[in-house]
Amino acid sequence: MMNLNTTLLLLIPFLPLAGFVILGLWGRKIFKANAGWVGTLLMLASFLIAVYTAYEYFTHSSGGHYDKIVPINYTWLKFSSTLSINMGIMLDPISVMMIVVVTLVSLMVHIYSLGYMKGEERFPTYYAFLGLFTFSMLGLVLSSNLFQIYIFWELVGVSSFLLIGYYYDRPSAVAAAKKAFIVTRFADLGFLIGILILSYCAGTLDFTTMINTLTSPESSELKTSLTYSFLGVSALTWGAALVFIGGAGKSAMFPLHIWLPDAMEGPTPVSALIHAATMVVAGVFLVARLFPVFSFTTPGVLQVVGWVGAFSAGFAAIIACTQTDIKRVLAYSTMSQIGYMMFALGVSGMGGEEGAGYTASMFHLFTHAMFKALLFLGAGAVIHYVHSNDMKDMGGLRKYMPLTHLTFLVACLAIAGIPPFAGFFSKEAILHAAYQHNTIIYWIALLTSGLTAFYMFRLYFNIFWNKPHQAHGEKHGEGGFAMMLPLVLLGLGAIGAGFIPFGKFVSADGNPLHMETDIAFSVLPVSLGVAGILLAAWFYLKQNSRPDAVASGLNGFYKAAYHKFYIDEIYQFVTKKIIFNCIGRPAAWFDRNVVDGLINLAGSGTEAVSAGIKKMQSGKVQQYGMYFLVAALALAALFIYILK
């Protein structure tokens, strides 16, 4: 049996929390510039324990099957004999995989920030926030019940808000932080209602029990819940769909994606950690966590998941081709890759070969965390070097930043799906799963993977080739050891992660799944990827007029894509013109005139009465004596003559 120490398990999330508390309270007074080391060492310890846990978990399967185990389950709020909110830790293949991913990327970001954020005024605060985020994210993936996941879900939202708004003296950062918070909050409302519906139907919040109840056709709860319906759709479907809305908000799926590109206002390492590798995949994780319910009970919702994912993947890829801010390109690419993970879940079935999509989705989540964190950290190094986010200010950097160039190239090849880099294997698995279940989604995904190669290499050539670099008189090199080490380590991950036999460890039903790479099948996606790269090279390797010519040739479409298909403007119109005018203003009028009027009336009425009677308290003793005498006589008269 597994040798898992529960104290050790608890240390994984609580070490980063300790970092948050210590640095939050004493960081600016005591640790100052050393704060980064405190955070990094705690994170390193947490990472090592997570790796140890993963090793213990994956080397102790029961005959190749991985069970869900709940080593800690503490009853926190007890509502009735069956319904209570617990705080627990659940280990299953995906949560174990996630703790490794989260702690690894977080550790890399901690190390990288030692160099990148050096000399920032709020350096200790930054590390405190990183610790809070890591704690929340680990809590989220380890949650043993739906309500606990919701609590940590909101906590990652808050830490994301704090870190996007880290440069709070920049109005755009403040606006972006608010936007991210409000959009995800809006989606979380759906999530909360979904939780209430699902827990009402299942009679529990606990994942294991809930999944058992809602997926066994004989269970009385399931039979009863299937009789509830709203607008002709069963309550369970509503619940699952609302939970998915929460996930879509966090994972920036269309149409709730608008916050992600703006979130790039935060420091670049934060974008790497939160808005590329970990928090934004929480939505995918959530769907995967409840996958049996989606798959068995509400296959309709799973269809929606698939279509939303596929649409977001293609939509974001088109926008990414037109953006010039390198972080925004990466943000849209993140959205596109998360779209891949979503539709991979959407086309997946429950067990055996049918569940290939599930494994592929988790596999892509794993490899994507490596190469996307690497891309962001590389972009951070570039931004650090040229002091600009815009690719117009870059070009010809390959001679100046050789190591960044190399690792960035590796990451680009990985995301473009060129063998033998990590992205190839996971993307191939996803395409394979899509091909077997839904041909239309497969074609969308295929085109998107060509586009992905194109826009990633557009980015790559624009940064490192294109026009020769105009030296701005930078004296500093491409970054210190602290910044280069994570690039190299993640680069190794981006090369090697694909060779992990992922299906052996993670599958929808816990039984190992054999994934083979079908060479014949891979020819088409890989040649599309290569074509994308060649096209990007033709456009951007040397400075020329071809991109402008094509852009003006596609005039209307290019403009629309450049403006992100005006989704932001549509939301602005809906909120400012329609919601404000039709709901906001009448509500404000009602508030000012009716609600406030009633309160003011009570106030002024009291004032008028008191103004009338305050003269009674004159401070004159004899007047008081007179009141007393008159009252005494009146009482005497009352008792003698009237009440006899």
Cβ 599 to other proteins, closest distance in Å? Answer: 25
Per-residue string for binding with other proteins, 605-644, x by CB under 8 A?
A: ---------xx-xxxxxx--xx--x---------------
CB atoms within 10 A of CB 320: 26
Q: Enter the tokens of residue 574.
A: 């809906």
Residue 1 sits in the site that holds other proteins (CB under 8 A): no
What phi and psi, each to the nearest 5 degrees, are found at residue 65? -100, 135
User: In whole angstroms, how far apart are CA 508 and each of 344, 348, 480, 505?
Assistant: 12, 9, 43, 10
Closest CA to 546 of 559, 530, 535: 535
**Concatenated DSSP letters of 238-278:** HHHHHHHHHHHHHTT-TTS-THHHHGGGS-HHHHHIIIIIS
CB of 616 to other proteins, least distance (A): 8
State the angle between helix axes of 356-386 and 422-437 in degrees (0 to 180), rounded to the nearest 10. Answer: 140
Least spacing, CB of residue 615 vs other proteins, in Å: 7
Q: Which of residues 250-279 bind other proteins (CB under 8 A)?
A: none
3-state secondary structure 375-440: HHHHHHHHHHHHCCCEHHHCCCHHHCCHHHHHHHHHHHHHHHCCCCCHHHHHHHHHHHHHHHHCHH
What's the rounded Cα separation, in Å, for the pair 610 and 621?
A: 21
Nearer residue to other proteins within complex by CB, 29 or 620: 620
Q: What is the DSSP letter of 280?
A: G
For residue 642, the minimal CB distance to other proteins (Å) is 22
Token pair, residue 121, equals: 């005024």
The least distance separating other proteins from the CB of residue 609, rounded to whole angstroms, comes to 13
Return the residues of window 93-122 that contact other proteins according to CB under 8 A: none
CB of 621 or CB of 640, closer to other proteins: 621
Written as one string, the DSSP assignment of 504-523 is HH--TTSS-------HHHHH
In the range 489-508, which residues lie near other proteins by CB under 8 A? none
Alpha carbon 19 to its chain centroid, in Å, reads 22
Min dist CB 632 to other proteins, Å, is 11
Query: Would you say 574 or 626 has its CB closer to other proteins?
Result: 626
The full DSSP string for 21-84 is HHHHHHIIIIIGGGHHHHHHHHHHHHHHHHHHHHHHHHT--BTTBPPPEEEEEEEEEE-SSS-E
**In terms of CB distance, is 604 or 623 closer to other proteins?**
623
Q: In whole angstroms, how close is the CB of 639 to other proteins at the nearest point?
A: 18
Token digits of residue 220: 């009385």
Residue 56 burial (10 A CB sphere; 0-12, 13-18, 19+): middle
- Choose between 2 and 609: whose C-beta lies nearer to other proteins: 609
- Shortest reach from residue 27's CB to other proteins, in Å: 54
Select 37 or 627, whichever has its Cβ closest to other proteins. 627
- Least spacing, CB of residue 628 vs other proteins, in Å: 10
Residues 397-426 that bind other proteins (CB under 8 A): none
Size of the site for other proteins (CB under 8 A): 11
Alpha-carbon distance of 44 to 176, in angstroms, equals 31
Pairing of strands 233-234, 229-230: antiparallel
C-alpha pair distances (Å), 603 with each of 365, 606, 610, 614: 60, 5, 11, 16
Angle at 153 (CA atoms; ends 150, 159), nearest 5 degrees: 145
**Per-residue burial over 81-107, b = 16 or more CB atoms within 10 Å of its CB, e = otherwise:** eeebbbbbbbbbbbbbbbbbbbbbbbb
| Both tokens assigned to 290 | 């409840």
**Interacting residues with other proteins between 555 and 614 (CB under 8 A):** 614
Q: Which residue, 590 or 624, has its beta carbon nearer to other proteins? A: 624
Q: Which CB sits closer to other proteins, 475 or 614?
A: 614
State phi, psi for 165 to the nearest 5 degrees. -90, 25
Pairing of β 84-91 and β 69-78:
antiparallel
Amino acid at 550: V
Is 520 or 613 the residue whose CB approaches other proteins more closely? 613
CB of 619 to other proteins, least distance (A): 3
d(CA 421, CA 529): 13
Residue 325 carries which DSSP code? Answer: B
Task: Look up residue 518 and give its two tokens.
Answer: 């079908």
User: Which CB atom, from 440 or from 630, has the smaller least distance to other proteins?
Assistant: 630
Which CB, 584 or 625, lies closer to other proteins? 625
Q: Can you give the binding site for other proteins, defined by CB under 8 A?
A: 614-615, 617-622, 625-626, 629
